[in-house]
Amino acid sequence: MVDSSIVPGESLFGSLLTAMVTPMKADGKVDLAETGRLAEKLVDDGCDGLVVAGTTGESSTLDDEEKISLFRAVVEAVGGRAKVVAGTGSNDTAHSVLLSRMAVETGVDGLLVVTPYYLKPTQSGIQAHFEAVANATELPVMLYDIPGRSAVPITVETMLRLADHPQIVAVKDAKADFAAGTRVMANSSLQFYSGDDGLTLPWMSVGAQGVVGVTTHVATARFRQMVDAAAVGDLQTARAIHLELEPVIRATMTRVPGAVAAKEILHWRGTLPRPTVRLPLVGPTSTESKLIREDLAEAGMESLQ
């Protein structure tokens, strides 16, 4: 299935995307009302795209019904104001295809599909997996290359073959291989997004479109300013913000898993009523909380509690 409305070079996902946490009630159930409110705040503060039910959304502990309800809630909250990208990838191709087809009915704008994890497929298997998902709908697809979690990378050669598929239009890169990414950008129309918050500016300096971030939950406006500055070649401004954000990125990405840190900080700041996560994730220890608060204080960011 080919969507003739997809124009090569046209940005289909925006430039500042947040990989949203999934707000939960005290009993661990998904909180759809808070999900909608968080989506609205992120867009109000500068996001032009949101990824729903990705890694930071604790996708591995969500069932399909919960994911579909999240996709629908975010589309209802911000559809038309920002691109809504559904995390539909897994290590089961048939399941990924099914969920992607279900996501279409919710009105999402695209799909984020991760490299199949745990099974360690060959490059031929990786290619076949992505093509099967891309063939299943007419939505544009962003590949998610994250060998730290999937155990296998998407090689340059595989990426270039996948770039020939009309629905595969972008890459969220969490591999940090600038030489490989540059080669792909030079030889395809795939749009790159940094999947490492701290590498947003370096990636954009070699041609990336923007970022799919976690720290963008708590420093949305500053990321917006940095991405916009980098996009117009104002590297002096972008570099200053990049350095300013380092302690915030440290707080969000290095002390505990990003979903845990983002929820805690949003709770401290009054954005989320509670920081509930699902096992095997747990909240930070007192020592971890202290380190996160110290990082935020270094960046001049105050919490409410």
Catalytic residues, which ones? 144, 172
Residue type, 165: H
d(Cα 167, Cα 112) in Å, to the nearest integer?
12
Contacts of 95-102 spanning 24+ positions with Cβ under 8 A: 96/129, 96/132, 96/133, 97/132, 97/133, 97/136, 98/64, 99/64, 99/67, 100/133, 100/136, 100/137, 100/139, 101/136, 101/137, 102/64, 102/68
Give DSSP secondary structure letters for 208-240: --EEEESGGGTSHHHHHHHHHHHHTT-HHHHHH
**176 neighbors 19 (Cβ within 8 angstroms):** no
d(Cα 54, Cα 70) in Å, to the nearest integer?
11
Distances (CA, A) of 150 to 123, 147, 216: 13, 5, 23
Residue type, 179: A
Angle (CA) 141-70-119 rounded to 5° is 50
64: number of Cβ within 10 Å: 14
